[in-house]
A = this chain, B = another copy of it.
Amino acid sequence: MKITIKDVARMANVSVSTVSRVINNSPTVGSDIRQRVLDVLEATQFRPNAIARTLVKNNSSLIGVLLPEIKNNVLDDMVEGINQVARLYGYDVVIALSGGNAESELHYYNLFREMQASGIIVSASGIRDSLFELIEASQIPCILVGRDFREKSIPSVHVDNVSAAYEAVTYLIQQGHRDIAMLRGAQGDISAGNHRFQGYEQALTAAHLPVRAERVLESALSVEEGAASMRKLYESGPLPSAVFCATDRIAIGAMNFLAEIGVKVPEQVSFFGFDDIDMTVIIRPKLSTVRYSASELGMVAARNLIKLIRGEELSAFHWSVSHQLKIRDSIARLK
């Protein structure tokens, strides 16, 4: 049998209202009675039913975070950032994992809605249009993370993927590379990959280099898929002099494949990654990559979501987080 506020009231010989007032630190209760209630509270280890409280207050103080998966190393830091500012403002954050599955995605988004979450943060890699429509239709505060959605009607925070990719590829060009391939994310699935591809395109074009379709391969984000894509590239003709990868994991898989067949990095092929996960400095050669702060991503998202919840004015509708190139050992300078 679960203990309720009624039980506490009975045991302390006061009304339920009084108990509630003590729990919520209302000053309008005498110190002797307050102490009596406090004692019972302590003795019973009573925790108020948040469900009932949310119902009457019509406010859950809950922020839902919807992620596709967590293997992706950057998400841990991001959630950490969200947690940090959310807790500061008195919100709790709970996470749901969609497994990258459209049905799950909708299910958990709706769960957050039904749980009366105050707001929702959606990690946008892999997000489907169906979820989009739902977000736009429902009036619950929501922020997208990790994907550049300048064109859309939902506020978002992201790395400026286009610029970052542009800078990375331009660096490769400056090092003398002319035949630069790209291992991008799957076309429809991850929009960050799309934007990184745009940056790649723009950099080549700006340098009057051709963008050749056979030099651009799709790959899922995993190490294994990176290796598979690299194999395809290898088998399809002469090796490019450099490869720009949509994520570090793809790059690591690709480099590993080359190592196994005896191709030397960076002597024969140079590599550029994206994300700066911890393994970039473990593998040999150390991977050059684009670094950004995932926790900052989370903090900006949480901060603005809370503004949205409170009905405050937003300073902007889309924010980006700074990035920088980390040049390490995976790039050869061509004369």
- Provide the bound-state CA to CA distance between A64 and B47, in Å: 17
Question: Which residues of A33-72 have CB atoms within 8 Å of chain B's CB atoms?
Answer: 45, 47-52, 54-55, 60, 64, 69-71
Interface residues on A, range: 35 or more
User: Cβ of A284: which chain B residues have Cβ within 8 Å of it?
Assistant: 259, 284
CA distance in complex: A94, B99 (Å)? 13
A160 CB → nearest B CB, Å: 25
Task: Kindly list chain B residues whose C-beta atoms are within 8 Å of the C-beta of A60.
Answer: 51
On whether the beta carbons of A113 and B282 are closer than 8 Å, the reply is no
B83 near A97 with CB under 8 A, answer: yes
Residues of B within 8 A of A224 (CB): 278
Would you call B97 and A50 a contact (CB within 8 A)? no
* Nearest CB of B to A78, in Å: 10
A281: B residues at CB distance < 8 A:
256
Are B278 and A223 in contact, with the CB atoms below 8 A? Answer: yes
Q: Is A29 close to B, CB under 8 A? A: no
Chain B residues within an 8 Å CB radius of A71: 73, 76-77
- Contact indicator per residue, chain A 95-136, by CB within 8 Å of chain B (1) or not (0): 111010000100110110111100000000000000000000
The smallest beta-carbon distance between A117 and chain B, in angstroms, is 10
Cross-interface CB contact of A95 among B45, B94, B116, B259, cutoff 8 Å: B94
Residue A203 is within 8 A (CB to CB) of chain B in the complex: no
Give the distance to chain B from A256, nearest Cβ to Cβ, in Å: 5
Contact check, B97 vs A96: say whether CB atoms are below 8 A apart.
Answer: no
Q: How far is the CB of A94 from chain B (nearest CB, A)?
A: 4
Q: How far is the CB of A181 from chain B (nearest CB, A)?
A: 20
Alpha-carbon distance A243/B94, docked complex (angstroms): 39
Report whether A51 and B55 are in contact in the complex, using a CB–CB cutoff of 8 Å: yes
Q: Which residues of B contact A222 (CB under 8 A)?
A: 278
Name the CB-closest residue of B to A61.
Answer: B111
B99–A50 CB distance below 8 A: no
The docked-state distance in angstroms from the alpha carbon of A104 to that of B113 is 24
Q: How far is the CA of A195 from the CA of B256 in the complex (A)?
A: 34
State A73–B97 Cα separation when bound (angstroms).
15
Q: Does A279 interact with chain B (Cβ within 8 Å)?
A: yes
Could you list 13 further interchain pairs (A-B, Cβ under 8 angstroms) beyond the known A50-B114, A94-B94, A283-B283?
Answer: A48-B114, A49-B114, A51-B55, A51-B116, A69-B80, A83-B97, A92-B108, A92-B111, A223-B282, A253-B282, A259-B284, A279-B282, A282-B283
14 of the cross-chain contacts (CB-CB < 8 Å) are: A47-B110, A47-B113, A50-B111, A50-B114, A51-B51, A51-B55, A70-B79, A80-B99, A92-B108, A93-B97, A95-B97, A256-B281, A279-B279, A282-B283
